[in-house]
Chain A
Amino acid sequence: MTGGRLHPFTLLAIAGTLPALAWILPAPAGGAVTTAVALVLTLTPGASPGLAGTGSSPGWRPGLVVLRTAVLTAAPFWLFLLLLHDVPSTIAIGLRLTTMIASVVWVGALLPPGRLVEAMVAAGWGVTAAYLFAAALSAVPLLKARAQRIVDAQRCRGLSPRGGLGRRLRALRALALPLVLSVLHEVDERALALETRGFVPGARRTPLAPPRDATAERVGRWLLLVGCAAALAWRLAWRG
């Protein structure tokens, strides 16, 4: 079974367990194992660059893009850690941070937000909680598109975002204000739109395509939770 076919909650459970274990297990061995697992997961068949990159192609290439994204995201943290700490501490903390980053990038690439929302609705979560989650995820491309429109409009009137650092900062400031104000301005209209489409507190929403949640996966999620608790108990006892 590829990661893409797992239930969204299972994917989240895996992505949550790895960082938890990275911090619970003794460094650097624990972090090294969890980092290795998380990085291998980024190569999982079914992972699509999605938020991490653009386009997709069959085979391992999308996984490689996800892996590259995870590594490139983690790299600056290693540099900062090296500036602030000695080498053993850098390795210990760096591996834990890399596990966290790789897990998030992996689950982001593998799990379409809509599928997670469907799972939440099917599991009986309130529509408000599901909405908060989905709206936050869907806001990224919308804000990106709007920011581009604002930049285009400003360029038409002579404000170029290109050039030296000072010029780029000025362009960023000019972009931020209209972007934030336009988002705030739309809140009212979006509330009206949701209201008229039956999205009201307490609505009994029909899940459109609820993901299958196999018993084995449910058991697996509990095992992950128990495993984390056991590792924590062992670590506390071992320390004591």
Chain B
Amino acid sequence: MARLTLERVSFWYPAMGRPALRDVSLAAAPGEVIALVGNVGAGASTLLLVAADLAPRVVGGKIEGRVNFRGRGKGEGGRGIVLPTPWTQLSGMAFTVWDEVAFGPANLGWPRERIAGAVDRSLAALDIGALAARDPATLSGGELQRVVIAGIIAMEPALLLLDEPTAELDPEGAGLVWRLVRALAGDGCSIVVATSDLDALPEVADRVVWMEDGVVRRIGAPALLAEESVCEAGLATTVADVWRTARLGAPYPLTVAQAERRWRQ
């Protein structure tokens, strides 16, 4: 049974005549990682807002179609979204990193012992335990990004929506986040991630959704990122793109390991 289902969803932002999403249908199963890829204006971020029940409820605008989420209500076992600008994601109510991460669980009314456990686990998962006593206002962009992700993870969502989660991170931090995504999926969390870190997707995503102008162009396995049409759209992995540019012949390899095997053949 899918945890999140979108059936022919179209969405218009307020005062916009053109829909940001058109006839989008998608289902996310428990434990599945779905990656949304597309160029600027493709509608990936909007799809995440709709899936998070923030659009149109908070954002405003108009929606058509059906969005169905099978969780346990808000917050706990619910939906968590990480937006692409970490400095706007701070609660404004916490004066240490620990309190910032605890902000969400505290709003769920959990007992203090449970909150403490969830916060400590999240800090450890994001490798930011050393920042626990720091004022969030003094953190760098990368540190802040980890804190914001930790704040959502601590709420133990059943559906995790990530919008460019590695944009502020260095390669090591990005690798940590992708490993965490796989670990959470292993625990049954459904994850939908909009990202331009295409090279990470073969290892991370179960399915890739290619979006363009608010429409789903293709849905498929990560191998999609090495197809000719995707390469033409500039959405292929680096290896596939290099292979294609070098005219080494289709099908293009997706990863370095695949390229190595092809090269040896």
* Residues of chain A having any CB pair with chain B under 8 Å: 112-114, 117, 127, 130-131, 134-135, 138-139, 141-142, 145, 186, 188-200, 203-208
Cβ of B138: which chain A residues have Cβ within 8 Å of it? Answer: 141
Cβ of B74: which chain A residues have Cβ within 8 Å of it? Answer: 198, 200
**Nearest chain A residue, comparing its CB with the CB of B75:** A198
Do the beta carbons of B59 and A188 come within 8 Å of each other? Answer: yes
- Complex alpha-carbon distance, A198 and B108, angstroms: 6
- Could you jot down 23 A-B contacts, CB within 8 Å? A130-B93, A131-B92, A135-B92, A135-B93, A141-B137, A142-B90, A145-B137, A186-B88, A188-B59, A189-B89, A191-B58, A193-B88, A196-B52, A196-B79, A197-B151, A197-B152, A197-B155, A198-B75, A198-B104, A199-B103, A206-B111, A206-B112, A208-B112
Closest 9 CB pairs of A and B: A198-B107, A197-B104, A135-B92, A198-B75, A189-B88, A114-B95, A204-B109, A193-B89, A134-B93
Give the interface residue-count category, chain B: 35 or more
- Complex alpha-carbon distance, A206 and B59, angstroms: 27
Any A CB within 8 A of the CB of B81: yes
Cβ-defined partner of B96 (8 Å) among A114, A139, A196: A114
Any A CB within 8 A of the CB of B187: no
Do the beta carbons of B88 and A190 come within 8 Å of each other? Answer: yes
Any A CB within 8 A of the CB of B102: yes
Cβ-defined partner of A193 (8 Å) among B91, B95, B137: B91
**Nearest chain A residue, comparing its CB with the CB of B137:** A141
Cβ-defined partner of B54 (8 Å) among A138, A139, A196, A207: A196
CB proximity of A203 to chain B, nearest CB, Å:
5
Cβ of B152: which chain A residues have Cβ within 8 Å of it? Answer: 196-197
- Complex alpha-carbon distance, A189 and B138, angstroms: 20
Do the beta carbons of A138 and B137 come within 8 Å of each other? Answer: yes
CB proximity of A154 to chain B, nearest CB, Å:
19
Do the beta carbons of B109 and A203 come within 8 Å of each other? Answer: yes
From B54, B94, B107, residue with most partner A Cβ within 10 Å: B107
Do the beta carbons of B93 and A117 come within 8 Å of each other? Answer: yes
Do the beta carbons of B96 and A197 come within 8 Å of each other? Answer: no
Cβ of B85: which chain A residues have Cβ within 8 Å of it? Answer: 186, 189
Any A CB within 8 A of the CB of B35: no
Any A CB within 8 A of the CB of B174: no
**Nearest chain B residue, comparing its CB with the CB of A187:** B88
Any A CB within 8 A of the CB of B115: yes
Within 8 A of A (CB), among B39-78: 49, 52, 54, 58-59, 74-75
Any A CB within 8 A of the CB of B227: no
- Complex alpha-carbon distance, A189 and B89, angstroms: 7
Cβ of B137: which chain A residues have Cβ within 8 Å of it? Answer: 138, 141-142, 145
- Complex alpha-carbon distance, A36 and B180, angstroms: 58
CB proximity of B125 to chain A, nearest CB, Å:
17
Cβ of A127: which chain B residues have Cβ within 8 Å of it? Answer: 107
Cβ of A197: which chain B residues have Cβ within 8 Å of it? Answer: 75, 80, 91, 103-104, 107, 151-152, 155
Cβ of A139: which chain B residues have Cβ within 8 Å of it? Answer: 92
CB proximity of A87 to chain B, nearest CB, Å:
44
- Complex alpha-carbon distance, A198 and B115, angstroms: 14
From B74, B75, B106, B115, residue with most partner A Cβ within 10 Å: B106
- Complex alpha-carbon distance, A200 and B155, angstroms: 15
CB proximity of A229 to chain B, nearest CB, Å:
34
Cβ of A193: which chain B residues have Cβ within 8 Å of it? Answer: 83, 88-91
Given pairs A204-B109, A205-B109, 19 additional interface contacts (CB within 8 A): A114-B95, A114-B96, A127-B107, A130-B93, A138-B94, A141-B137, A142-B92, A186-B85, A189-B88, A190-B89, A192-B59, A196-B52, A196-B152, A197-B155, A199-B93, A199-B103, A200-B74, A206-B109, A208-B115
Cβ of B87: which chain A residues have Cβ within 8 Å of it? Answer: 186
Do the beta carbons of B94 and A114 come within 8 Å of each other? Answer: yes
